[in-house]
Amino acid sequence: MKILCPDKSEKTIEECAECAKCFPKPIMSMLLKGRNRKKKLNSKPRYGVTRLVGNCLRKTYYDLTEEVAMPLDKLWIFTRGTAIHEFVQKEIPEADNEIFKELIFPNFNVLGFIDAVHDGALYEFKTTANIPQKPQDAHILQAQAYYSMLDEAQRAKVEKILVIYFSMHKIKVFEVPARNIIPYLEARGAILTNSIEMKTPPKREEGYICSYCEHKDICFGHKLSTHNLSRKSEDLPVLSESSAQEPKTPKQATLDV
Ligand code: SF4
């Protein structure tokens, strides 16, 4: 990961930590901790669920093939989200938290870290600036994907699926219907894998998210793609949940803007 300096230059994590002009060292340390993990190379792509259920598969493609420098303010949003996750998860027995699941398909795998399955409920926690009127489609799909990834015995114990939003001022709980969306995950993963192999981005899925997309200029042809076209899918990293955010924990809070 690179850091986008206020002077618009791009810095490595080490350079940013060494400089520390933006914030005092303890704050810099909090923001940069765990951001310098080396990406693992794998023979088979492994996509986090959030990559496949997000609003735009083309954005996911660019997330994987373009390196975008992050401003420190954005790292604070991620760090704060992780802290809220951990704060809530402390109230749930450890064995019921961060449940790892993996779906294996011929050309790729799908990884899921479920926030919690506890006392008859599957929980998906979201930190957000503003609580939505209804859960976002991508968040409903994410929770349903986790439900689909449970084995039969685990699914039988889930009576409800809850998506819970936390803002700085409020908490809101939504119940979403149970649904098996494994065919959807497989179809999205196949499109992404094929796009990476062909070095051709999937079609645009335009929506409100375009206003916040780091790849908008490349997507609409205002800027050239920078990714190395000789890169093969086997050079791509293991994609943990929300891996663009490079969290220290396996799963990072979703950034809602
Ligand atoms: S600008 Fe919009 S359509 Fe293009 S990659 Fe980003 S989210 Fe997708």
pLDDT means over runs of 10, the chain (257 residues): 90 92 93 79 86 95 89 92 93 95 97 97 96 96 98 95 96 97 97 95 94 92 69 43 33 33
Predicted confidence at residue 203, as pLDDT, reads 96
**Ligand 1 centre distance from Cα of residue 203 (Å):** 9
Q: Is the dihedral of CA 13, 47, 138, 225 positive or negative?
A: positive
Instruction: Report pLDDT for 40.
Output: 63
- Backbone phi and psi for residue 123, each to the nearest 5 degrees, phi listed first: -110, 135
Q: Is the CB of 215 under 6 A from ligand 1?
A: yes
CATH of domain 39-245: 3.90.320.10
State the pLDDT at residue 39.
Answer: 59
Residue 153 CA to ligand 1 centre (angstroms): 39
Distance 215 CA to ligand 1 centre (A): 7
Q: How is residue 92 written in tokens? A: 């749930």
Q: Is the CB of residue 68 below 6 angstroms from any atom belonging to ligand 1?
A: no
Does residue 58 have its Cβ closer than 6 Å to ligand 1?
A: yes
All structural domains of the chain with their residue ranges: 1-36, 39-245
Q: Which residue out of 51, 57, 59 has the highest number of ligand 1 atoms within 8 Å of its CB and is therefore the one to mutate?
A: 59
Is 236 within 8 Å of 51 (Cβ atoms)?
no
Of 200, 210, 257, the residue with max ligand 1 atoms within 8 A of its CB, to mutate for a pocket test, comes to 210
Residue nearest to atom 4 of ligand 1 (CA): 219
pLDDT for the residue 245: 32
CA distance 38 to 152: 35
Tokens of 150: 């449970």
Cα-to-centroid distance, 29 and ligand 1 (Å): 32
Atom of ligand 1 nearest to the CA of 206: 3
pLDDT at residue 248 in the model: 28
Q: 251-254: long-range contacts at Cβ-Cβ below 8 A with a sequence spacing of 24 or more? A: 251/85, 251/98, 251/113, 251/115, 252/78, 252/81, 252/82, 252/85, 253/78, 253/80, 253/81, 253/82, 253/84, 253/85, 253/125, 253/126, 253/127, 254/50, 254/81, 254/126, 254/127, 254/128, 254/139, 254/142
pLDDT at 41: 56
Ligand 1 contacts CB of residue 205 (under 6 A)? yes
Nearest CA to ligand 1 atom 2: 210
List the beta bridge partners of residue 110: 47, 103
Q: What is the pLDDT of residue 43?
A: 74
Ligand 1 close to Cβ of residue 1 (< 6 A): no
Measure 216 CA to ligand 1 centroid, in angstroms: 6
**C-alpha 58 – ligand 1 centre gap (Å):** 6
